Amino acid sequence: MRFDLVDLQLFIAVADSRSITGGADRAHLALASASERIKGLEAAFGVTLLKRGRRGVELTAAGESLLDHARLVMHNVEAMRGDLARFASGVRASVHLLANTVGLAEHLPKALAAFLRDNSDINVDVEERESIDIAAAIASGAAELGFAAEHALPDNVERFVFGEDRLVLVTARRGAFATRRQIDFQEVAGHDFVGLTQATALQLHIAKYAARLGLRLHVRARLRDFDAICQMVASGVGIAVVPEAAARRCRRAMPIATVRIRDQWANRKLVICARSFRTLPRPAKLLVDHLRQAAVSLRPGNGR
């Protein structure tokens, strides 16, 4: 069985573009050369990898399996190059971490700050995504490490619980729901809201479940952070849905009240996830170990 990394890169490019011509362009190969390489892969494995048609190509079941393995191989090769380049040039290593809105705003900053202080040769690039997108990126091998709501993850993604993320309703201390302890989200229909900007993952999550209930939220203001949202709520502009940790913090300085949302979608476990923690490059493993220790320290009875 003879094939090389160029063959795997080409196959990934063909699969992503659903076209041998498009894959050849992405891989910077002549069409004839790309076509021969694909045929060589099929001959090497003894299976048909692509279904060829007028509108391009589709992966066979064997092709889907090869794509999965090819992405993992190329990911490990890039990780190897990155680790060794760090030793050769002295350039800092970098870890790419996908995180949902709540993780980015409330849970990660303190833990990441401690990690960066202790690891001066490692940078961390955090990108905000919705949990379902993080799950897809991790499962496909397009990303190595994520911070997401557990309910969005498929079974084949490894994870450990970092903390809990309960979403609560926030209202002015003398607002319509201020005396309530719990509420069904359906009951907020018709009330003015203060929300996050539409591009944030959490706002997409809230809007999706509101739509499932047949609710159209009347959002009077959209802001970038939870403190600003709670200030608007305290001034009587509207109600809001924010993480309990943020609401509790803001409640100490603002005249707001919090109400527990009974709906299941409002209760989420936040997890650190990866396709395989064992196969992560060394910088990412160091970050995972640090976050695992941080998660333990945040649990009740461990100093918080």
For residue 81, what pLDDT is reported? Answer: 76
For residue 167, what pLDDT is reported? Answer: 92
For residue 134, what pLDDT is reported? Answer: 92
For residue 48, what pLDDT is reported? Answer: 94
Chunk the chain into consecutive blocks of 10 residues (it has 304) and report each block's average pLDDT, rounded to whole numbers: 85 93 93 93 92 90 91 83 64 82 86 93 88 88 89 90 91 93 93 85 83 90 92 96 91 96 90 93 93 80 51
For residue 165, what pLDDT is reported? Answer: 80
Dihedral pair phi/psi, residue 98, rounded to 5°? -90, 135
What is the dihedral sign for C-alpha 100, 152, 154, 298?
Answer: positive
For residue 304, what pLDDT is reported? Answer: 46
Query: How many angstroms separate the CA atoms of 131 and 197, rounded?
Result: 17
Query: How many angstroms separate the CA atoms of 141 and 78, rounded?
Result: 12
Cα atoms in the Cβ-side hemisphere of radius 13 Å centred on 247: 21
Query: How many angstroms separate the CA atoms of 302 and 115, rounded?
Result: 19
Residues 6+ apart with CB under 8 A from 32: none
Query: How many angstroms separate the CA atoms of 223 and 25, rounded?
Result: 42
Query: How many angstroms separate the CA atoms of 88 and 73, rounded?
Result: 22
Query: How many angstroms separate the CA atoms of 156 and 115, rounded?
Result: 28
Question: What domains can be seen in the chain, in order of their start residue?
Answer: 5-84 (1.10.10.10), 85-163+269-298 (3.40.190.10), 164-267 (3.40.190.290)
Residues 6+ apart with CB under 8 A from 180: 259
62, amino acid identity: A
